[in-house]
Every structure is written in structure tokens, then in C-alpha cells.
Structure 1
Amino acid sequence: MPQRRAVVAGSRTFPGAGLAPNPGSLIAQIEGIFESIVESIIRKEELTINFERLCFPGRSQKEATKFTRVLLILQLSHDALVSNEILTKRHIFYQNQELFGTQARVDELVDCLALTLGVGREDLNIVATSKGLVAGQATVHLKDGTSIDASYNRIGSSIPLSTTIASVNTSNIKWILVIEKDAVFRSLVSTEFWRTSAAGLGLLVTGKGYPDLLTWSFLHIVQRNNPNVPILVLVDYDPDGVNILRCYRWGLSRLPSPKYLKAHWIGIKARHVLESRNLQPVQSAPERITHQEQAYSSRGGDSAGDSISSISCREPSAQLSVRDRQLVRGTLRRIQAIITTDESSQEVAEMRYELQKMLMLGVKAEIQWLDDGGNLTGWLEQEIILCLGPE
């Protein structure tokens, strides 16, 4: 249970964080802060919020500005809770650009404020704009009575805010595939791989790179309701891919308390690279890289018309860069710090082995590289069936 903190205004102490995260208690906490500040103003005392011991007017202009930013976020959160509306961090920034300066400041303050109050960011009715997509045999029922049919949209449906979800019906699926690349996700959705796969009905999910909180929370809800349906993760064979896997498996640093997903890594791994007869660990020559290829190679994906077997894709097997090697070493340090159970220790050992092997081979490979023969779906079916085991 989170420790109880105090919000201080002048000489008065107001019990703050650690209460149950429901709208009523949060509204009471925030209003208690405001009342304390008003009393301090009446008594002509210095205003203090026990959020990194912020004061107003403070010892510097920087401290006074930060106090103002925190107070504004508290006010916006209070108004959103009272009116039962949802605010996005992007909206807060664009409505107050001069005060915050950058989007990153809003993100940091909202997350830190939620942690200080002992709640999740969503409990403040402040969320990030969702970038996650879902497609497949699932129906998401929302608390307002509406529903989202994930099988209806041929480009995937946006993942909703977890606090607006009443239930998720995934009773018929046999597997969940989380895909790093948006381009691969959209190609699989366009062929309805979730429906036509020999592995049975499934669900496709992408966080378009590193997962955001909404995508991770959605997967957590689905797994909680369907603990026997495996979550399979497909990422690039590079340091970022392994880091993305780590984020899905062991949660995000922004979570108010440690939570985990039981997820299985199906690829890409060193053995897939070594088994390929066409491996050429060389960087594409600069003169051969077109503007379209550069756009495709970015982690944000490609144009909507490109397929995963497009011959215009850049060579997906390349040498590790200096940055890649530094990132591998940093990831090795992070996974070393993971507190493991008997069940997860083998996963950590596998991640460590794969990263060390990556350094030794000196190469990386994108998911598209598996489709060199034009049959990524066939490879996926084999891997998914292998993970499912005998009926």
C-alpha cells in the first residue's frame, strides 16, 4: 500500500495520498489542497505543496513557475473529475504552451503528481492520446453503453481508455499477437490473419513501437479475463526490439505499482538469423537507399499501401551501429536488475543470451526480413501453433 503523504499549505497539514483511488476521494484530496492554499493566502503565509516541497513565491522564478504548473494541473484534473470528462496531456500542453514550454514537462508533472497522490494517471482523468491498435475476434464494451467490434475495421481500431472499458469479450480466441511494427500489423490485418490463420482465431495488437500506457493496460485487462490465452510478442532483432519486449513483459515505469504481463517472445531471435541461408550482415550502400526506403525503415512505419513483402523495402539485415551496441549494454544492465521468480528467471536468461549473441554476431534484422520468401504468415502460423502446443 502506498505511503500516506501530506500536502502542506502554511502551517496546516492535509492528509493526501494513499487513499482509495476513486473520483470522490481524489476530488476531496484536491479540494483540501486548494482550501489549505486559500487559508495560507488569508494568513499571508507562504504557499507550499508537498510535491518536491514546492513553494510560492518560492526561492526562484523557476520554483514559482513549477508551483504554478502543478497547481494548474490539479485544477484541470479536479474539473475533469467533477464533470466526468477525460483530458489528454496533449490538450493540456496546447492550451498552455507558454506556461509549460514543452510537452515533456506536462508528461513528467502529470506522472509525478499521480505517483505522489498514490494513484494512476488515468485516475486523474488525464490520459495520453492512444497510439495502440487492436484487430481480431474481440468486442470491447464501454461503460457508456457503446461497444467496439475489433473485427470490423480493416485497419485496426484504436484502443480505448482502460477506465472506460466495462468488459472485453474475447471468449473465442486462442492467441494474442503483439506486433512491434505498425506496418506489419496493418498488413496482417488487411489479410485478416487473425481469422484465417491455421492457429485458430486470434487478436492482433500493436503499440507502434514502444507501448504506451493505454495499450499495456488493455492487454492487462484482456489477460486478467482470459489468463489461459497466451500473449505472443513479435519484435525486431535489435536492441530496441528487446527493450520493447521488456516493457510489455515487466511493465512500464509509469505504472503506480508493479504489474506484469505473462508474455512469450516468438521472434525475431538469433536462431532465426542463423537459420537463414541469405544472411548478409552488411549495411545497404548509401547510393541504393531511396527516400521511400528511408521512410519505410523508420520505426514509425511506412505508407498505408506498402506490404510486408514489398520489394521496395530496404535490406532489413544490417550491422549493429555504435548506438546499437551501447543500447545493448544498457538493456543488459536493465534486465539484470529485474527481480525474477522461478518462472521468469528463464525468460531473463534468454533475453541476456539473445543480446550477447547479437553483440557477437554484430547484426540486426527487422521483422520484414522474415518475409524474404514472401511467407511471413506461414512462419507466424508455425510459431503460434508451436507455442499453443497440442490441443
Structure 2
Amino acid sequence: MDSQENLSSENARCSPDKDRVVRYINQLLLSIIEELSKPDGSPSISLKRRLNHSNYSLNPETGALESSDQHRVYTYYWPGKTSQEGWRFGVLTRILGLISEAIKGDFISSKRDIFYQDPVYFGSQTLVDRYIDDIAFTLDVDRAALHVAAAAKGAIGGNFSITMKNESSIQVGAFAEGIIIPRIDEVDGIDTSGISWILVVEKEAVFHRLITSGYHNTSAAGNGILLTGKGYPDLSSREFLRLLSSQKGCNSKIVSNPLPIFILVDRDPDGMAIMSTYKYGSMAQLHRNANLNVPSIRWVGLQASEMISTVHPRNTPSLVPMSQRDRKKAEAMLKRNPSFAEDGPEPTWRKELQSMLVMNVKAELEILYELDGGMEGWLDRRLSKIC
């Protein structure tokens, strides 16, 4: 399947989702009007909210993180038993109205945009965020179907081109520092001919070093694409990487031989969690993970064996003791995330987390800068072996 076919499939899926949102809002507003027309009417809005402590598992077919559908239903009434309940009902109707306007006007808003439509009334960004997520979860759609999206933050670089739906073309290689990853619904196709690999890097600083040094053009493994979600990836970064995962490499002869994708993260619990998010999905987007995860992604570093072999007195500042937060996060991942389970698919990941807890040390990618040949030389040696 080429990129156009992937995008057509995604667009076909999004259209019914948007229709579902429109029907839901229209029917809800009609029911509210009907209730308000009654002498003793009491309109209400019911939304589902996923419980934080659901049981998680990995789908054997898609490899995506999912959960048993454990949720709680919250119902908000007007005028409600208290002024607080009536206010929450009003906040929800205001948000639904703004979503309806965005869909009818065919424009995209961010959660922040919605909050600043009426910040005094809404009270807090957190409340707006929660209700938008609850609406999406209740309707089993992603936020894009609500015409609500976070501002893009991920970046990408390399000698490939992106064709947009407005018929413009972006020659990504013409931008020395890469570009902000475009929204997937604005992309018509991608040309990755001449590309041999894709490397996802956790940190913006590392991405900047590699892209400005031209590593994507000078790698011993051939021409590549560099991508960063700048920490935990947003939806645009995950969607774009998922699309790239279907592309054929320059030496590939068949569609079943896609571009190899590698990931480079800090050796700490957050780095491991970021890697798991790309490969299996996030707990925050369980209903979307099957369309976002990249099962083929491979871990290129940083691992304990590399950390030990590369340590020099001059780069020990890149070795940092685990904080209490780090330890709690690692323990929670071992306990709750099935990709790190004892009988899970990633025994090396589990062993690495356990090693962090025992050694009480984490390492940053910058430790590779001081090696002979720098990080670029280290990557050459790693990628040449596995590409």
C-alpha cells in the first residue's frame, strides 16, 4: 500500500467519525431544547471517562496497546442540584457549540483556542482539556474528528518530498534545520525514493545536532530521514511516522519490505516510555493506538552495555542518579505496561528498566558526543550492522 492509499483509508475513516460527531451534537441540542420547553424539564449531558487504572493488554494482531473498556459515566444536569453542576453543564454546551462551529466552518481549533474563547467562564485549561477528551472517548473518535488538534511540535528532516492536498510540494531537504511535521490530513503523498532508513530521536537537541551536521546525507548506512517528537510525541508525529512506516526503501523491491525505522532515546524511564509510545501506543490514546503504533520500530540505543563501554571521566555528567520520580515511573511501567511485563514481547526492555533500578543510574544521549567520531560515528557503526 503506497502513501496515497494509506491516506485515502485514513480520510475514509475520518469522514464517518466527523458525521458521528455532527449527529451527536445535533441530537443532543434537540433534546436539550425539548427538555427546556417542558415546565419541569431537566436537560442533561452524559459523557464517559476512562478510568485511570484500567487493565492494559497488547492486541495480538495490531500490536497496539489497548484496555478493557473500564469507564465511568458522568451526567451533568441543568440547572442541577448546585450552581457548580449547572456551570459544568454550561461549560459543556459551550464547548460543544465551539466544536460544531469548527466543523461547519471547516477549520481546526486547538484546546488552547477553545479555552481562550471564554477563559473567565471556563475557569481553567485543564477542565476544557478533560471535557474534550471525554467527548472524544464517548463518541469513540479521535480529536481530529472534533476539529480539535494540538499545535504541531514534532520536526523532520531529510532529502524527501511531501505533496500537500493544496497541490504544493515541500522539498524537505531544502530546509537545513528540518521542518515542523505537517498535519496528516493536509498531506497527499510522500516520495521517499533514495531513502534507506528512518531514525526517530527523543530529544530536539540531538535532532538539531544530527540535522545540522548533515548526518542524514553522510551516514554510512545511506541517506536517511530524521524525526523527533521533542520528547513524548504528539499525534501529528505519530501519524506521520505511521505513514512513513509504509514507505519502501530505495533498495526495496516489494511493498512488504518497508523502510527500516530505528529509535534513539535516553537511558531512563521516560526514554523507554517514549519508545513504547511509538511502538505500541499511549495510555492516553487507547482508542487510536491501532492506527498510530509502529510495530516495526527497532531500538538502536542507549542501553546499559553501551553506557558502560562509553563512560569516560570527562563525560560522567551525562550519568545522573535516578530521582524518586524516575524510580516510581519505572516501577509503574514494570507493573502496568504489558510491553514491559515478565511474559511480554520486550524482555530486553524489561531487563533494562530493572537494571536502572538496581544501578540507580540513568544516562543521557549526550554521553555519545565524546566518543571517537562523536554520536555520528557511533550511529554509523550501529546502523551499518543492522540496516
Measured against the shorter chain, the TM-score band is 0.7 to 0.9
Q: Distance in 2 between matches of 1:156 and 1:322?
A: 36
**How is 1:154-303 mapped onto 2 (pairs within 5 angstroms)?**
154-226=176-248, 228-255=258-285, 256-259=287-290, 260-262=293-295, 263-278=297-312
Letter in 2 for 1:244: I
Q: Are the aligned partners of 1:138 and 1:170 in contact in 2 as well (CA < 8 Å)?
A: yes
Q: Are the aligned partners of 2:264 and 2:301 in contact in 1 as well (CA < 8 Å)?
A: yes
- Which has the bigger relative contact order, CA under 8 A and spacing at least 6? 2
Q: Are the aligned partners of 1:23 and 1:123 in contact in 2 as well (CA < 8 Å)?
A: yes
- Equivalent position SS for 2:299: strand
Residues 161 and 98 of structure 1: CA distance in aligned 2, closer, same or farther (over 3 Å): same
- Correspondence for 2:25: 30
- Equivalent position SS for 1:210: coil
Q: Are the aligned partners of 1:122 and 1:163 in contact in 2 as well (CA < 8 Å)?
A: no
- Equivalent position SS for 2:337: helix
Q: TM-score, normalised by structure 1?
A: 0.79
**How is 1:69-80 mapped onto 2 (pairs within 5 angstroms)?**
69-80=91-102
Runs of 4+ in 1 over 4 A off after TM superposition: 279-282, 337-341
Q: Are the aligned partners of 2:268 and 2:326 in contact in 1 as well (CA < 8 Å)?
A: yes
Q: Distance in 2 between matches of 1:19 and 1:136?
A: 29
Letter in 1 for 2:298: H
Deviation of the 1:166 alpha carbon = 1.9
Q: TM-score, normalised by structure 2?
A: 0.80
| Structure 2 segments unaligned to the other structure (5+ residues) | 1-12, 48-73, 249-256
- Correspondence for 2:382: 383
Q: Are the aligned partners of 1:185 and 1:204 in contact in 2 as well (CA < 8 Å)?
A: yes
Cα deviation digits, residues 203-238 of structure 1 (max 9, x gap): 111111111111111111221344611221111111
- Equivalent position SS for 2:222: coil
Q: Are the aligned partners of 1:174 and 1:229 in contact in 2 as well (CA < 8 Å)?
A: yes
- Correspondence for 1:309: none
- Equivalent position SS for 1:95: coil
- Correspondence for 1:353: 351
- Correspondence for 1:330: 332
Residues 192 and 277 of structure 1: CA distance in aligned 2, closer, same or farther (over 3 Å): closer
Deviation of the 1:64 alpha carbon = 2.1
Deviation of the 1:78 alpha carbon = 1.2
Letter in 2 for 1:228: P
Letter in 1 for 2:312: N
Match of 2:146 among 124, 133, 140: 124
- Correspondence for 1:363: 361
Q: Distance in 1 between matches of 2:379 and 2:367?
A: 13
1:47 and 2:49 are equivalent in the alignment: no
- Correspondence for 1:317: 319
- Correspondence for 2:81: 59
- Equivalent position SS for 1:224: coil
Letter in 2 for 1:272: E
Cα deviation digits, residues 334-372 of structure 1 (max 9, x gap): 33477999xxx44x2111100111122221111011111
- Equivalent position SS for 2:246: helix
Residues 107 and 384 of structure 1: CA distance in aligned 2, closer, same or farther (over 3 Å): farther
**How is 1:87-166 mapped onto 2 (pairs within 5 angstroms)?**
87-166=109-188
Cα deviation digits, residues 129-184 of structure 1 (max 9, x gap): 11111111232222222333221222221112222222222233211111111011
Q: Distance in 2 between matches of 1:37 and 1:138?
A: 51
Residues 250 and 148 of structure 1: CA distance in aligned 2, closer, same or farther (over 3 Å): same
Q: Are the aligned partners of 1:136 and 1:203 in contact in 2 as well (CA < 8 Å)?
A: yes
Deviation of the 1:258 alpha carbon = 3.4
- Correspondence for 2:51: none
Residues 171 and 37 of structure 1: CA distance in aligned 2, closer, same or farther (over 3 Å): farther
Report which stretch shifted further, 261-270 or 319-328.
319-328
Residues 141 and 197 of structure 1: CA distance in aligned 2, closer, same or farther (over 3 Å): same
Q: Are the aligned partners of 1:21 and 1:119 in contact in 2 as well (CA < 8 Å)?
A: no
- Correspondence for 1:306: none
- Correspondence for 1:296: none
Report which stretch shifted further, 57-66 or 208-217.
57-66
| Structure 1 segments unaligned to the other structure (5+ residues) | 1-17, 283-314
The count of aligned residue pairs is 335
Q: Distance in 2 between matches of 1:231 and 1:369?
A: 22
- Equivalent position SS for 1:211: coil
- Equivalent position SS for 1:167: strand
Residues 339 and 71 of structure 1: CA distance in aligned 2, closer, same or farther (over 3 Å): farther
Q: Distance in 1 between matches of 2:209 and 2:362?
A: 22
Q: Are the aligned partners of 1:19 and 1:25 in contact in 2 as well (CA < 8 Å)?
A: no
Percent same amino acid among aligned pairs? 33
Cα deviation digits, residues 235-266 of structure 1 (max 9, x gap): 11111111111111111233323322121111
Deviation of the 1:187 alpha carbon = 1.2
Say what the alpha-carbon RMSD is for the aligned residues.
2.4
Cα deviation digits, residues 107-147 of structure 1 (max 9, x gap): 22212211111211111111001111111123222222233
- Correspondence for 1:300: none
